[in-house]
Amino acid sequence: MRSIKRLLVVVATIAAIAVLVPSASAASSTAFHLDKTCTLDSSEPLGYFCTVQHSDFKWIPPATEVHYAAIPPNDPELLVAASIPIKNGSTNGVCVWSDPVNAVCTFSAGTGRLTQFHLVVVVTANADQSVWYWDGWYWFGARG
């Protein structure tokens, strides 16, 4: 089972790098940073509820909620769904965790303001896991 997890982490990392490298050089890609605090969500098995504290993307302002939930039947410690509901839209993504504090999350084509929104971030946390960080790239529209 451990080798399957490692394989999935390697595949996810390669996929994230494949997306991030072209994104960094594309004119329409923009750097993204977000800080959030998280707590266990008792309404969702193995879920978490996070609140954005700071974001450099205007449509995901402070107080925006981010929800994580396990994707059955996969290992809940490895693959989770993430959703970001905002005023006038939302987006959903998948996060692949390589260990308890490191992940790569990929979001694509949401609704409303986030139609054609794409986001790829690396997730990390501070030492006591009281603050979580998303750093990566976002863009709107199809990749060219």
Which of the pair, 51 or 16, is modelled with greater confidence?
51
What is the pLDDT, as a whole number, of residue 143?
A: 65
> Per-residue pLDDT tens for 52-67?
999 999 999 999 999 9
Calculate what percentage of the chain has a pLDDT beyond 70: 74
Burial annotation 34-56 (CB, 10 A radius, 16+ → b, else e):
bebebeeeeeeeebbbbebeebe
Indicate if the pLDDT at residue 118 is higher than 80: yes
Which of the pair, 74 or 1, is modelled with greater confidence?
74
Instruction: Report the mean per-residue pLDDT for the chain.
Output: 80
> Per-residue pLDDT tens for 83-102?
999 999 999 999 998 888 89
